[in-house]
């Protein structure tokens, strides 16, 4: 028995060269014991014959919304009710746009509107179409409604270009769906390295609790370490993996926010719909953050920014001629403090990585950087060093004697969802206070 045994999977196939792989995908789902029915869009039929899917699944392939013969048997509403899960692979840019806009212009989009089943999409398109802001906005809308994304992968594309936009392999999509439909899908996230964990907006529980709470808010997040060059082959950095910041970015997206993620050098893939800017050094990060901060409602500074950099980066590799060596370092700019000092500033949330006296150190940082909130985590403990792990717990502080909340140990995604709920509440409280204060009155 697997999570797909006896499950009714409605496979939507849309127009793209990857449609030929969907025949293998149908087979792989059936191998797991799933019953598969296929809907093909007109675009899909230009690439693959419906007969292929009919022969593989043993079911007639559904092609038209207004098909009297098909409606007399299992109409589109019955099809929508029949499905335990809908999987659209490949999902073209056109289909994503129609789903995001709630269109009911063909059988597939109509069934998606009429179903209560979870919808999963495996996008496939040219890399520039995938990066287009219209596609990003559509993915963001879909993700905020709970649609789960599998991929796309990066690599050589049928159009001759190279980049993100390739559909995942059928086996990867099957594994991702297995993970999502597993009854313990939420707990299996922790430490999981399955394709679903790498590619999907994981978990529905958090998305329900935060859904829409940050709707329309523009959230800027930094994540990961920064890297400060010593010479062409060496650098100073730290152990941040970016997991905490990436989890916040995904959960903020699910909560309806427009998310910009400024990431230091990490090996994580960000969810579709997140606008990501990659940087290396603290200076790069400062420039990228200041370029975005003016249009952000909230800034969450999760990055472990190197506090120092080399006074002078060497042009050539340093030779190991001496037993001792001293490097001369200078302070890096404080990115968070720079944003919090702007006249038109977003709601500023800092992170504090502490090994002792959590509250005292965190509150001191909040005060010296003039923050609206700070989330302190206890780092460096053998049981959970936080850096690089999949779990965390936080003590959250904001100005005022009673400004404190505890977020118990959980996956970084769950912790992120809880922190975003607190931020949404504080933001709301501040906005309603602002409404009541006449201009010029200090809060």
Which stretches of the chain bind ligand PMT, using CB under 6 A?
224, 240-244, 282, 301-305, 307, 332, 334-336, 350-353, 365, 377, 379, 386-388
Alpha carbon distance 144, 258 (integer Å):
10
Q: Label residue 265 exposed, middle or buried (CB < 10 Å: 0-12, 13-18, 19+).
A: middle
Minimum gap (Å) between residue 358 Cβ and ligand PMT: 11
By three-state DSSP, how is residue 30 classified? helix
Nearer to ligand PMT by Cβ, of 288 and 304: the residue is 304
Asked whether 57 and 121 are in contact (CB, 8 A), the reply is no
DSSP 194-210: SHHHHHS---SHHHHHH
Nearer to ligand PMT by Cβ, of 95 and 301: the residue is 301
Asked if 139 is an active-site residue, the reply is no
Alpha carbon distance 174, 289 (integer Å):
38
Minimum gap (Å) between residue 365 Cβ and ligand PMT: 5
Phi, psi dihedrals of residue 121, rounded to the nearest 5° = -130, 140
Nearer to ligand PMT by Cβ, of 347 and 387: the residue is 387
Alpha carbon distance 415, 387 (integer Å):
15
Neighbours of 440 (CB within 10 A): 5
Nearer to ligand PMT by Cβ, of 211 and 290: the residue is 290
Nearer to ligand PMT by Cβ, of 9 and 282: the residue is 282
Alpha carbon distance 6, 30 (integer Å):
9
Minimum gap (Å) between residue 240 Cβ and ligand PMT: 4
Minimum gap (Å) between residue 138 Cβ and ligand PMT: 29
Asked whether 35 and 5 are in contact (CB, 8 A), the reply is no
Minimum gap (Å) between residue 239 Cβ and ligand PMT: 7
Identified catalytic residue from 112, 139, 159, 180: 159
Asked whether 354 and 361 are in contact (CB, 8 A), the reply is yes
Minimum gap (Å) between residue 140 Cβ and ligand PMT: 23
Task: Identify any residues that bridge with 236 across adjacent strands, giving them in sequence order.
Answer: 228
Phi, psi dihedrals of residue 128, rounded to the nearest 5° = -75, -35
Alpha carbon distance 308, 330 (integer Å):
5
Nearer to ligand PMT by Cβ, of 283 and 297: the residue is 283
The residues annotated with a catalytic role in the active site are 159
């Amino acid at each position: 028995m697997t999570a797909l045994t006896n499950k009714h999977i409605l496979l939507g196939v849309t127009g793209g060269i990857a449609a030929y792989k969907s025949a293998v995908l149908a087979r792989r789902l059936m191998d797991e014991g799933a019953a598969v029915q296929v809907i093909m869009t007109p675009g899909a039929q230009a690439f693959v014959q419906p007969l292929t899917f009919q022969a593989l699944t043993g079911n007639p392939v559904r092609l038209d919304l207004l098909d009297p013969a098909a409606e007399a048997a299992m109409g589109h509403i019955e099809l929508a009710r029949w499905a335990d899960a809908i999987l659209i692979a490949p999902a073209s840019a056109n289909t994503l746009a129609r789903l995001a806009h709630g269109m009911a212009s063909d059988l597939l989009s109509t069934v998606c509107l009429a179903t209560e089943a979870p919808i999963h999409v495996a996008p496939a398109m040219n890399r520039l179409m995938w990066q287009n802001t219209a596609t990003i906005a559509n993915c963001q809308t879909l993700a905020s409604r709970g649609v789960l994304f599998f991929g796309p992968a990066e690599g050589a594309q049928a159009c001759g270009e190279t980049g993100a936009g390739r559909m995942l392999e059928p086996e990867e999509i099957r594994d991702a769906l297995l993970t999502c439909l597993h009854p313990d899908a939420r707990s299996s996230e922790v430490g999981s390295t399955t394709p679903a964990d790498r590619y999907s907006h994981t978990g529905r529980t958090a998305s329900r609790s935060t859904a829409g709470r940050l709707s329309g808010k523009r959230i800027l997040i930094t994540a990961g370490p920064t890297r400060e060059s010593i010479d062409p082959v060496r650098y100073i950095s730290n152990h941040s993996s970016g997991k905490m910041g990436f989890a916040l970015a995904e959960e903020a997206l699910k909560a309806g926010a427009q998310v910009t993620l400024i990431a230091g050098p990490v090996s994580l893939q960000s969810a579709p719909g997140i606008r990501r800017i990659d940087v290396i050094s603290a200076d790069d990060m400062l420039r990228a953050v200041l370029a975005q901060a003016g249009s952000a409602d909230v800034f969450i500074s999760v990055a472990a920014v190197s506090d120092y950099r080399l006074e002078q980066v060497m042009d050539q590799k340093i030779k190991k001629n001496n037993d001792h060596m001293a490097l001369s370092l200078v302070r890096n700019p404080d990115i968070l403090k720079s944003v919090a000092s702007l006249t038109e500033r977003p709601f500023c949330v800092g992170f504090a990585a502490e090994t002792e006296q959590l509250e005292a150190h965190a509150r001191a940082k909040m005060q010296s950087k003039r923050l609206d909130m700070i989330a302190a985590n206890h780092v460096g403990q053998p049981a959970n060093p936080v850096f690089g792990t999949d779990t965390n717990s936080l003590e959250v502080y904001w100005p005022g004697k009673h400004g404190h909340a505890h977020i118990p140990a959980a996956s970084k995604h769950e912790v992120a969802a809880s922190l975003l709920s607190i931020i949404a509440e504080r933001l709301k409280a501040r906005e309603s206070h602002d409404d009541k204060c006449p201009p010029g009155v200090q809060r």
